[in-house]
Amino acid sequence: MRNGLRSALEPAGRQTLLAPLTGALLALTLTLAPHPARAQDDFAGIDLPGAATLCFGMLGITEARALEVCDALALRENVRAREVAQRWIAEQPGSAAAQFALAEVLVRVEGNLARALFHLNRAEELTNYSSLGRAVASGAPEWHYLTLSQLSYVHQLMGNQQASLDYLDKIEAVYGQEVESFRGWPLIKMQKWDEARASAESVLASSNDPRERSRAWNTLCAVELSALRPAESLEACDRSISEDEALAGESSGDSDTVYLMNASEVSLSMLRMEDAEDYLTRAARELDPDSVGDPWIYLLFLYMNQSRFDEARTALDNMLVWRDQQEPIVGVMNRAEHFLVSAMFLTLAGYPADAATLSATALNQPDRTGSYSADEAQKDSIAALMNAIANQTAYEQALENAATKDFADALQQRLRAQTLRFKAWRSSRHAAALFADTQVLLNRLRPYAPLDVHIPEWIEPELVRIMGEGVIAGVLEQALAAGAFSLNEGYYHAYHAEIAALRGQSEQTLAHAARALGQLPAQESLLRARLSARIAEAAWQQGDYEVARSNYELALQNDPSLLRRLGMSLPVRIRGVDDAFVRQVIDYLEASPRFHSHPEGLSLEVFPQNDLTICLSTLGGSPLSCVQMGAIDETLTLTPAQQLVQEFHAQTFGLGYDISQAQRMRLMGSSVILSSQGNAAAQQDRDAVLQTSPPTGP
């Protein structure tokens, strides 16, 4: 799942005062782009007493308690920062500084925006100056300014874009600060495209500040895309990258990931897969804990799409390292992305039960989507769909295991498996309800629609099953007429192949699948594997066994878990010597829902007991999957024959990766407070990521 474009905005206005901004005050992701803060000269005319000590991103703050909180945050002593702020507010509840300090801790340390908003509102009530003169006369205008800035930021993250704009207006009215470059993203979230364009063009015409210009170009990146002008959108994205890289070079810093990831999204919408990957590998060069975008998520999507499973496994590890370094406020924004891409990989790898847990967690824990062009309902739709797929796959896996049990145990396991089937049905109905709007479906069918939550192309055919063939067939023609498939009609024919397959129309399935395979990008490996499976089924029904066998082989080679996910049965010719052990294994295989015996099927051979091997091969003898019995696991209540057959299913219909229970639990994440603590192990992980990042070219 990808949440569309990202914004890398800092809290409104604060970047123009300070250098540099602190953690929670840095980038959001398209989202707009990362911006080092400007010098404090922009606060000229306001007398800020004290030495040039940076606190809450501002120079000149002298309150001892505030400095103590800032010191604790800088040292990542988060518990101490919280304790100091709470003690301060308990002793001085009427202090706007204390209210702001606790709000800042809640945002940065916990990502708790709702509680932070309560204290920010209280700080505003305690200041609420209507003019610069009144603010200066108070003796502490910085707390009013910081409060307005943070209120604009928090409201944007929480999805209240009009309130975010209103606070920008207050900053401009009271302090005379130029905030136009911050208006673009809230206007985009409100789908006020013309106003967002006008705002960005105004900034580009009047400002020489590379931070403001990069934000403006990023706004235009989204606006042009909404107008279905991807070429102009990509040009705008590239301009935002150029401005940002120039700024990073001047400050000897690193370019932010947001602009690069937005350019990657736009490249995908143009089906330029190599360019998209290049942008992502550039973004993955340096860990950026303040950016909502985690490029390893999107690299993992690309690698899975292309059946590059070894690289996908590495990307999963690097994604977790990146996630562990994220600031808590960032973690509440993109946790669903981490959960869902992990669920997809675990489903492919043969761990659908864990995938079901992850996708359910993503569905039940709403994200803060204010920094994404997509919204919460879109995230929920893909989470429900993924949960349905994971539970259905777990159901099929349970039936495979039941095939190796005696009658009583098998009956119990099949009964338990019905719970998974019910969960799959319930989630599919939830997803169908979320996809029910015609406009939502039209957006879903457009390949790599970057302003919405994107469903991977190999998963999108599932929409046919949950929405119904007739519904999707009708919407497909509307999408085609609207130009959704103008870059490549292969996706259109892939949907029609799925519709025909579910209707049992063999001729139409073969015709549409052949046209799709002839037009789809070569990188759509998993989608092409699904088409191969549909061709195999249709050809088998027509008695064209040679075509069927070759396509079954292609499907297995490019997406081993596909037959399990689709609940398909592979025709095989089972052979083995007349041996008690072999006969027992053959009985289990014949009872498996993944196989059925046929003289024209693929070769499935069980070798005698001294080899303890099952091997699935082409008729020409080329092995597709061979599994030899290893050491007997004495902790299991399974016989050697049962262990061998279950291991064969795991290896044949999974990726062959042994992902430990501890690793799978880690995918669920940990406390945001704990994850924000720095330690030596985290530093070693960070170094490992930098060493294993993909090559970035000259």
Running along the chain, 698 residues long, what does each successive block of 10 average in pLDDT?
Answer: 54 37 25 29 41 75 92 91 95 95 91 92 93 86 92 88 93 90 87 90 89 86 78 82 69 63 85 92 85 88 96 94 82 82 95 95 68 63 93 97 93 94 96 86 82 82 95 94 91 98 97 98 97 98 96 96 97 90 94 96 85 88 89 77 94 92 79 36 44 38
**Are the CB atoms for 477 and 495 separated by under 8 Å?**
no
Q: Which of 286, 291, 283, 380 is nearest to 334 (CA)?
A: 291
Q: What pLDDT is recorded for position 366?
A: 58
Q: How far is CA 557 from CA 362, 415, 596, in A?
A: 30, 32, 19
> Which pair of tokens denotes residue 670?
């940990």
Which of 4, 3, 665, 565 has its CA nearest to residue 358? 665
Class in CATH terms, 1-233: mainly alpha
Q: What is the pLDDT of residue 50?
A: 42
Three-state DSSP state, 211: helix
Q: Classify burial at 248, counting beta carbons within 10 Å of its beta carbon; exposed 0-12, middle 13-18, buried 19 or more.
A: middle
- DSSP letter string, 140-185: -HHHHHHHHHHHHHHHHHTT-HHHHHHHHHHHHHHH----GGGTHH
**Under a CB-based contact definition with an 8 Å cutoff, are residues 576 and 605 in contact?**
yes
Give φ, ψ of 403 to 5 degrees.
-65, -20
> 3-state SS of the chain: helix, strand, coil percent to 5?
65, 5, 30
User: In what helix (H) or strand (E) does residue 64 lie, and over which residues does it extend?
Assistant: helix 64-74
Q: Indicate the domain borders of the chain.
A: 1-233, 568-653
Q: How many CB atoms lie within 10 A of CB 94?
A: 10
- To the nearest 10 degrees (0 to 180), the angle between helices 96-105 and 141-157 is 30
pLDDT score, position 535: 98
Phi-psi map region of 621: left, alpha, beta (phi>0 left; psi -120 to 50 alpha): left
CB 204 within 8 A of CB 217: yes
Which DSSP state fits 30? B
SS3 38: coil
CA–CA gap between residue 146 and residue 25 (Å, rounded): 10
Q: Report the C-alpha gap between 374 and 159 in whole angstroms.
A: 11
Kindly state the DSSP code that residue 190 receives in the 8-state scheme: T
Give the closest residue to 565 by CA, choosing from 364, 356, 411, 361.
356
157 to 105, 151, 189, 258, 331: CA distances (angstroms): 16, 10, 11, 16, 12
For the entire predicted model, the pTM comes to: 0.82
